[in-house]
């Protein structure tokens, strides 16, 4: 390995941000632009929307993530419709600036050097926030370590822990090395939970007692850390065997104290983050209740997620919204007046978005769909609890409904390469598409990403969401659809428990406590309510305007970030 680089020099590219930035938001993934594949799905899209709103609102923030040169996955389909996945490579040098700074963290007995790339997320009003992309693909590193930051969520548990060491420990070191004086660290999920552990090492108790389980001043760390959990089941929390932790982190932290903070049987990153954070929140009211039940005795708040207004509204509707208020992008609450818009203008704007969507579908699949038929869209991460095939549970009845009131269905979504159930879901959807093609057009659109998502949420007629309750922490795709006047047909879970006004913003699918009834109730709603209403264009325009004014106006990332700023980001000055 080459000799260590020289001392860190303050980078002139950061000069405008260093004096004022007091909040660091650490996230394993973030969606910055459609052609920067540093995200896998909702968590990364949320982080990108948080960054866009932070810039719009002038919040003194810096965002930290991994460079993920190999992205998450590029999705193709084989001849039978099964998922083929490969790296989704990009070169940070094409979109970001390499900063002249490097830090090293010890992993597995070797020094792993980290270099940051700076991406400046700029907004139309002239405001911006810096985003640091941490990269280990450096000549100074051992070949085995150069790929740590390459593939988002790639590899085994050892690789995942290495990535989380780079994000949490390396991220905090990098911020300090670059000259940031951070007051508050916001951990977006448990991936960065090693950051507060690194802070804790700085505050040993001077007069600790033998009986102290954690002989450090925890309060000094707790007051600086905010933790947002997105995972509603214990099985979804990152857990690492302590033998692996010891092999990679060595004596970084006292093992008995770490067990006290993170669990006896394994290092639970969620538990560690909770025990070292002073503000902890779930991402919807229902999710807060679920998280509270998992961690009794811990004060867990609720800040329901939101989506960035300007990013997710299609152009024709944006022009209409400007007639309500030219500043609607920075004050999206004015969209509560969307029900005063001319109904014909709303329908015409949606027709433009739908035409763009169907054109993209044709170019991607060769399937020509009708602009006149109601188009139901399911676009989510393909995994078991999302129940993507719930609509297909009774194919005979589905066909009878389609023969009486024709409609069409679009699916999109990626399955993690190691998620066999998710990959099987894609196969079942493709098989149903072939089997039912004579009566019901069903199209799976490959390559679900930021760009395709923008087309889908704007061009759908109905947004379908069918998770197994209570496994949907929030569900921001329906919020994006609502901003473009697309009503949801959804199981009552996550955000939809707060947003659903039956027949006004969309429709609920059954009782969340009786999931076995959901398939039949979904088809009931489709047959007796949704499809007949679509035929009445005036009534459908009212539904669209209800979705905008009652849901789209409320569930925005501007509201979300204002909540964090008012409630969680309370330290005005860095704690030394």
Interval 78-123: pLDDT, tens:
998 999 999 999 999 999 999 999 999 999 999 999 999 999 999 9
Alpha helices in 101-238 (DSSP H): 157-165, 171-178, 194-200, 218-222
Rounded Cα distance between 351 and 214, Å, is 61
Rounded Cα distance between 252 and 254, Å, is 7
252 φψ region: left (φ > 0), alpha (ψ -120 to 50), beta (else): alpha
Strand ranges in 436-505 using DSSP code E only, listed in sequence order: 442-444, 462-465, 488-490
Return the pLDDT at 571.
Answer: 58
Q: Radius of gyration over alpha carbons of the chain, in Å?
A: 24
Q: Which of 66, 32, 67 minimizes the C-alpha distance to 47?
A: 32
Question: How many CB atoms lie under 10 A from the CB of residue 160?
Answer: 18
Return the pLDDT at 576.
Answer: 46
Return the pLDDT at 208.
Answer: 56
Q: How far is CA 58 from CA 50, 61, 416, in A?
A: 12, 8, 36
Return the pLDDT at 165.
Answer: 98
Rounded Cα distance between 25 and 188, Å, is 7
CA angle 272, 273, 277 (to 5 degrees): 125
Interval 530-541: pLDDT, tens:
999 999 999 999
Q: Which residue has the tokens 């905010």?
A: 226
- Using the predicted structure, report yes or no on whether residue 9 has a pLDDT greater than 70: no
pLDDT classification of 236: cutoffs 50, 70, 90: confident
Instruction: Name 458's Cβ contacts closer than 8 Å, sequence gap at least 6.
Output: 312, 313, 314, 317, 350, 353, 356, 357, 481, 484, 486
Instruction: Name 471's Cβ contacts closer than 8 Å, sequence gap at least 6.
Output: 232, 233, 385, 493
- Residue 170 phi, psi (nearest 5): -65, -35
Return the pLDDT at 4.
Answer: 52
- Using the predicted structure, report yes or no on whether residue 373 has a pLDDT greater than 60: yes
- Using the predicted structure, report yes or no on whether residue 8 has a pLDDT greater than 80: no
Q: Which of 168, 112, 175 minimizes the C-alpha distance to 140?
A: 112
- Using the predicted structure, report yes or no on whether residue 40 has a pLDDT greater than 80: yes
pLDDT classification of 13: cutoffs 50, 70, 90: confident
How much is the average pLDDT of 339-359?
A: 97
Break the chain down into helix, strand, coil percent, rounded to 5. Answer: 40, 15, 40
Query: Do 378 and 396 touch, CB atoms closer than 8 A?
Result: no
Question: How many CB atoms lie under 10 A from the CB of residue 318?
Answer: 16
Paired residues of 185 in beta bridges? 24, 225
Return the pLDDT at 107.
Answer: 98
pTM for the whole structure: 0.95
Return the pLDDT at 209.
Answer: 55
Query: Do 395 and 435 touch, CB atoms closer than 8 A?
Result: yes
Query: Do 75 and 100 touch, CB atoms closer than 8 A?
Result: no
Rounded Cα distance between 51 and 306, Å, is 12
Q: How far is CA 498 from CA 38, 107, 238, 433, 505, in A?
A: 30, 44, 28, 33, 11
| Secondary structure class of 498 (helix, strand, coil) | helix
Return the pLDDT at 189.
Answer: 96
Burial of 4 (0-12, 13-18, 19+ CB in 10 A): exposed
- Using the predicted structure, report yes or no on whether residue 7 has a pLDDT greater than 50: no
- Using the predicted structure, report yes or no on whether residue 233 has a pLDDT greater than 80: no
Question: How many CB atoms lie under 10 A from the CB of residue 222?
Answer: 16
Q: How far is CA 100 from CA 11, 220, 334, in A?
A: 7, 31, 44
Q: Please state whether beta strands 301-302 and 279-282 pair in parallel, antiparallel, or not at all (unpaired).
A: parallel
How much is the average pLDDT of 486-498?
A: 97
The token pair that represents 351 in the structure block = 């027709």
Within a 13 Å sphere around the CA of 161, how many CA atoms are in the beta-carbon half? Answer: 21
């Amino acid at each position: 390995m080459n000799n260590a680089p020289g001392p860190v020099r303050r980078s002139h590219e950061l000069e405008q941000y260093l004096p004022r930035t007091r909040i660091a938001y650490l996230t394993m993934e973030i969606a910055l632009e459609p052609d920067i594949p540093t995200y896998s799905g909702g968590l990364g899209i949320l982080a990108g929307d948080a960054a866009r709103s932070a810039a719009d609102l002038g919040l003194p923030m810096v965002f930290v993530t991994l460079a993920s040169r190999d992205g998450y996955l590029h999705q193709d389909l084989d001849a039978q419709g099964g998922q083929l996945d490969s790296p989704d490579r990009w070169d940070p040098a094409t979109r970001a600036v390499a900063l002249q700074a490097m830090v090293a963290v010890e992993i597995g007995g070797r020094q792993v050097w980290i270099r940051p790339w700076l991406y400046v997320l700029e907004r139309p009003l002239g405001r911006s926030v810096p985003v640091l992309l941490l990269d280990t693909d450096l000549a100074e590193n051992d070949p085995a370590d150069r790929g740590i930051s390459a593939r988002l969520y790639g590899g085994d548990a050892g690789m995942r822990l290495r990535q989380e060491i780079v994000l949490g420990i390396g991220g905090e070191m990098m911020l300090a090395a670059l000259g940031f004086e951070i007051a508050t660290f916001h951990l977006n999920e448990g991936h960065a939970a090693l950051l507060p552990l690194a802070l804790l090492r700085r505050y040993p108790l001077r007069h600790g007692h033998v009986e102290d389980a954690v002989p450090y001043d925890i309060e000094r760390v707790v007051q600086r850390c905010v933790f947002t959990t997105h995972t509603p089941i214990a099985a979804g929390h990152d857990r690492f065997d302590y033998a692996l932790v010891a092999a990679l982190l060595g004596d970084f932290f006292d093992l008995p104290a770490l067990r006290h903070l993170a669990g006896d049987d394994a290092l639970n990153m969620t538990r560690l983050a909770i025990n070292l954070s002073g503000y902890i929140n779930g991402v919807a009211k229902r999710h807060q209740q679920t998280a509270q039940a998992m961690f009794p005795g811990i004060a867990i708040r609720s800040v329901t997620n939101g989506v960035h207004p300007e990013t997710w509204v299609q152009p024709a509707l944006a022009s209409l919204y400007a007639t309500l208020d030219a500043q609607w992008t920075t004050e999206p609450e004015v969209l509560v007046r969307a029900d005063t818009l001319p109904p014909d203008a709303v329908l015409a704007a949606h027709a433009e978005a739908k035409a763009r969507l169907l054109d993209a579908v044709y170019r991607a699949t060769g399937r020509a769909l009708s602009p006149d038929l109601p188009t139901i869209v399911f676009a989510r991460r393909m995994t078991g609890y999302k129940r993507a095939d719930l609509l297909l549970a009774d194919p005979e009845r589905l066909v009878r409904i389609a023969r009486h009131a024709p409609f069409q269905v679009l699916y999109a979504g990626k399955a993690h390469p190691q998620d066999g159930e998710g990959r099987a879901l894609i196969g079942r959807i493709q098989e149903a598409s072939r089997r039912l093609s004579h009566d019901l057009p069903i199209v799976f659109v490959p390559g679900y990403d930021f760009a395709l998502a923008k087309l889908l949420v704007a061009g759908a007629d109905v947004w379908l969401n069918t998770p197994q309750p209570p496994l949907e922490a929030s569900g921001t795709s329906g919020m994006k659809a609502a901003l473009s006047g697309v009503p949801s047909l959804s199981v009552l879970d996550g955000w939809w428990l707060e947003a659903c006004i039956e027949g006004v913003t969309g429709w609920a699918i059954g009782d969340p406590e009786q999931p076995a009834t959901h398939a039949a109730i979904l088809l009931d709603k489709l047959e007796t309510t949704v499809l007949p209403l679509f035929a009445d264009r005036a009534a459908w325009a009212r539904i669209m305007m209800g979705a905008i004014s009652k849901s789209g106006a409320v569930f925005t990332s501007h509201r979300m970030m204002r909540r964090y700023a008012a409630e969680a980001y309370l330290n005005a000055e860095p704690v030394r």
